[in-house]
Chain A
């Protein structure tokens, strides 16, 4: 087990820079998830940690020691690949013991290690099979077994669940989390799935275009996004972003939003000092669907609930919740209501805005206004 530290990491392929100064740190035993849209550089970052790709500048430290120039096998890491990368010509047992075989560890010890890992992952009865005879979920387990048997300082996972079907993915997600709790080994995990990121991570790094957009706990990334990209990327359905004008009403600030019938309505805002500078100007008002709900479903612990009648345009029952599409400030917004909330498409309904969860962004810079 070890901590991982990345300092001002740059990586270019000839003239194309794919990582533009990444600074990250994950404590010993932490679970770091690198998340972002495809092409953001997250897999490249993982490969540089593994030593499979060279870095252009910067530093990577594992356990406080720089790993510069170290061969992947000397970095004390183990990696689980997206395609699982099981050696097709070897049995499961040979796949797991290949690394030990290369290092010349004796057969008896290898056997002990294989038995240990296969009992943790319950793959004992698969040991003599070839990868081609395994199902997707079994291959996934074997790939994790091959990583586990190395007993590394840091586990690296490269989108390990993306080839599984939806149900299995959820099961394996839980299993990885359980495994992490049990082993306590530092994990770096790449995914493009923000739900995976939120459920697994102790720290999330959101990347886009080679830049680190935000680095923080799942709660920080979700509730306290630094910019519009992070706000919309994390969470599903994604955060509603509505153009609104800041106005002063007595001592307090309000935002004015155009509703569908050309009227404006106002919502109070909690004290955000920087918003004073925006009086009379427009900002982006961000509110997550679950903070925009029916009166009865509103969060009772919130100190700032505003009610407003809105025209319901579409109703989408989803079993556990009912989603309603409304028009706010000329844009579609999604509200998440209780499953049995009484609303009808084409009629007005009173909705509750949980303003303590509202966030505001500068429309030009897309940065958060705090």
Chain B
């Protein structure tokens, strides 16, 4: 079965074109990996080796000190805490926000496709709008709302903001996925006596793995990398990783510790990298789901 498919899709090509393709691909791979290489290589160098000149060279003396410093002792703003507490802040914000925006996106998609109501198109249209609206526009109203709710500067407030900003996209993902989900299955489950939530949990969710993965990766990446909301709405104890990284790099006192900055930047990027490595193949599969019949 798979054999015949791969044969059908194979494009016969000569050795020359094949070599050319690989060459071009290699150039792109190199180009893409270059910044990562610079960051990794320099994060293991002592500072004077960086100042000495060659950014492209491998470290002569390997050291973990920049990593340790970035994690636990570097000066972030005024406090010498390292990135650790902010890393934890980010986790405390992003994990619940991703969970909530995914769950509610799934529920919205379920309702918008299988429990249609009058005006559902308008509701969906408005949710779509939130995918394309520049978030700078909503900063002041959002600040008002957070103040009104007494959540300004708190982790809960940031969770709420990320949840609301993310729900548009997760609704879009789930709605489109469930639109292709056979409605007869819902009817069959209704006749079997399943309730609204039983249908959701026992029929729809078990078939939603690909789109859940897509949504989680999307939300996690966006929320983890967010700077705008973090910079605007976080308080002293609730600053997320990205803002802390900025503070680390922009600290104006003392020498610029580039090796620590590199290590900190990699630390900040690690979770999203990890999510991609773990779930990446599901991500591609999820994006392809429905594109090919069968």
Which residues of A are in contact with B by a Cβ distance under 8 Å? Answer: 47, 50, 52, 71-73, 77-79, 81-83, 85, 87-89, 98-99, 102-103, 146
Contact = CB atoms under 8 A, between A and B. Distances in A.
A87 B203 contact: yes
B205 to A, nearest CB: 9
A79 B187 contact: yes
A88 B207 contact: yes
B190 A72 contact: yes
B119 interface: no
Interface residues of B, number: 16
B185 A87 contact: yes
B191 interface: yes
B121 to A, nearest CB: 14
A85 B187 contact: yes
Given A89-B203, A89-B206, A83 B182 contact: yes
B190 A52 contact: yes
B143 interface: no
Interface string B152-186: 00000000000000000000000000000010110
B63 interface: no
B193 A102 contact: yes
A50 B193 contact: no
B126 interface: no
Given A89-B203, A89-B207, A102-B198, A73 B187 contact: no
Looking at chain B's contact residues, the main secondary structure is helix
Given A83-B184, A85-B182, A87-B203, A50 B189 contact: no
Contact of B194 (A50, A102, A146): A102
B140 interface: no
Contacts of A72: 187, 190-191
Residue of B188, B189, B193 with most chain A CB atoms under a 10 A cut-off: B188
Given A98-B194, A102-B198, A87 B184 contact: no
A71 B190 CA distance: 8
Contacts of A50: 187, 191
B192 interface: yes
Interface string B224-246: 00000000000000000000000
Contacts of B192: 73, 98-99, 102, 146
Top-6 shortest CB links A-B: A73-B193, A99-B192, A89-B206, A85-B184, A85-B188, A81-B184
Interface of B: 182, 184-185, 187-194, 198, 202-203, 206-207
Contacts of B190: 52, 71-73
A52 B207 CA distance: 23
Contact of B193 (A79, A87, A89, A99): A99
Contacts of A99: 191-193
Given A81-B184, A89-B203, A89-B207, A98 B189 contact: yes
28 contacts: A50-B191, A52-B190, A52-B191, A71-B190, A71-B193, A73-B192, A73-B194, A77-B191, A78-B191, A79-B187, A79-B188, A79-B191, A81-B184, A81-B188, A82-B184, A83-B182, A85-B185, A85-B187, A87-B203, A89-B203, A89-B207, A98-B189, A98-B194, A99-B191, A99-B192, A102-B194, A146-B188, A146-B192
Contacts of A103: 193
Residue of B187, B190, B191 with most chain A CB atoms under a 10 A cut-off: B191
A73 B207 contact: no
Nearest to A103: B193
A89 B209 CA distance: 11
Contacts of B187: 47, 50, 52, 72, 79, 81, 85
B195 to A, nearest CB: 8
A125 to B, nearest CB: 22
A273 B204 CA distance: 63
Contacts of B203: 87, 89
A102 B191 CA distance: 11
Nearest to A98: B192
B190 to A, nearest CB: 5
A114 B194 CA distance: 19
A130 to B, nearest CB: 11
A85 B191 CA distance: 12
A128 to B, nearest CB: 17
Nearest to B195: A102
Nearest to A73: B193
A87 B206 CA distance: 10
Given A87-B188, A87-B189, A88-B185, 14 more contacts: A47-B187, A72-B190, A73-B191, A73-B192, A73-B194, A77-B191, A85-B184, A87-B203, A98-B189, A98-B192, A98-B194, A102-B193, A103-B193, A146-B188
Residue of B193, B194, B198, B203 with most chain A CB atoms under a 10 A cut-off: B193
Contacts of B189: 87, 98
A87 B188 CA distance: 9
A44 to B, nearest CB: 13
Contacts of A85: 182, 184-185, 187-188
Contacts of A47: 187
Contacts of B188: 79, 81, 85, 87, 146
A3 B193 CA distance: 22
A88 B193 CA distance: 18
Contacts of B184: 81-83, 85
B196 to A, nearest CB: 11
Nearest to A50: B191
A73 B188 CA distance: 10
A98 B190 CA distance: 11
A103 B193 CA distance: 7
